[in-house]
Homo-oligomer: A and B are copies of this chain.
Amino acid sequence: MSTEVFIGVDLGGMSAKASCLSGEGRLAAVVRAKTDIEDSPEKTINTLARLVREAAERGNVPQSSVAAVGVGAPGIIDCETGTVEEWTNFGWKRIPLAERLGSLLQKPCFVLNDANAAALGEARYGAGKRFQDSVLLTLGTGVGGGIVFSGRLYQGYKGAGGEIGHTVIKLGGRKCSCGRRGCLETYVSTRALARDALSEAKKHKDSKLYLLWRERGTADGFLLFDALKRGDACAERVFSRYIAALGEGILNLANLLRPQAVILGGGVSAEGETLLAPLRRYVNARLTAGDYAPLNILAATLGNDAGIVGAAEYARQRFS
């Protein structure tokens, strides 16, 4: 490893993970610790400090070679000061995470939103590494992501941008947790997909989708894709509406920002070409100036490491 190493931390509600990122973009072994909703911010920050030291040890990096630490954290983050403005789940409010962790470690610390960290990781070392500008769209229980321009994150004023899931694609549409109606998230999250599959299945009790659901007892994103692979017409109807909603969301990003790549993350993206091929067809048929300025639609490649890699890369960019 080069002499200057950056450590990335991915802080979540169940666990925190950390690892060293070398100058060549390789990640060392990932170390983990539990996080607990009952713990005070102080205790959680102590856990993070211990985890960072452990990550350095496991990566055979002397503490003196650790240049800086980046932390991807949930909630609303003031990325300039590294303060967690609000992490509702853990009851955090205005916690100066960068400052406190930095003083424990005696290293510069930088904090950013976890979805933005994943976007930066994928952009620099994952699916987006051939491109200057890319947008990550994470299709999970919710829909998040981040925007990378010229290899750097665009986080908006005080880091409040990048809320891709909370852009309305249907005025007066489905009620969203954010209070608005018709947000992209309410149509393309895995939760929405599972719910739409179940609702369509119940209308067609002779469909493979319905039979699969009865067999398994749960409706999730996999149910739809499994029925789809068995050539079920009912599943195809649900899927084609899903592709249209997701496609329109991607076209919106393309017309507004025209990145060279939109990278899809989250569980659904593991479906690969089953998802990507029809999505590319939908988008390319409707993309203005698409021949001239084409858009690549790709699946994320870093999986669960994207956040750690991106947090470390963020520390590198902020440090230099």
The chain A residues found within 8 Å of chain B, CB to CB, are: 76, 78, 85-86, 132-133, 147, 149, 154-164, 166-173, 178-180, 182, 187, 244-245, 248, 251-252, 255-260, 286, 288-289, 292-293, 295
- The reply to whether A171 and B289 contact each other, CB–CB distance below 8 Å, is no
Cα(A162)–Cα(B252), bound, Å? 10
Known: A173-B171, A245-B171. A255 touches B166 (CB 8 A): yes
Cα(A275)–Cα(B184), bound, Å? 27
- The reply to whether A85 and B292 contact each other, CB–CB distance below 8 Å, is yes
Interface residue from B160, B173, B187, B259 paired with A156 (Cβ < 8 Å): B259
Give chain B residues whose Cβ lies under 8 Å from the Cβ of A154. Answer: 149, 154, 257
Give chain B residues whose Cβ lies under 8 Å from the Cβ of A255. Answer: 161, 163-164, 166-167
- The reply to whether A256 and B258 contact each other, CB–CB distance below 8 Å, is no
Give chain B residues whose Cβ lies under 8 Å from the Cβ of A256. Answer: 147, 156, 161-164, 167, 256
Smallest CB–CB gap between A294 and chain B, Å? 8
Give chain B residues whose Cβ lies under 8 Å from the Cβ of A258. Answer: 155-158, 160-161
Known: A149-B154, A169-B168, A255-B166. A160 touches B293 (CB 8 A): yes
Query: Which one of A154, A157, A187, A286 has the greatest number of beta carbons of chain B within 10 Å?
Result: A157
- The reply to whether B168 and A248 contact each other, CB–CB distance below 8 Å, is yes
- The reply to whether A168 and B252 contact each other, CB–CB distance below 8 Å, is yes
Smallest CB–CB gap between A180 and chain B, Å? 6
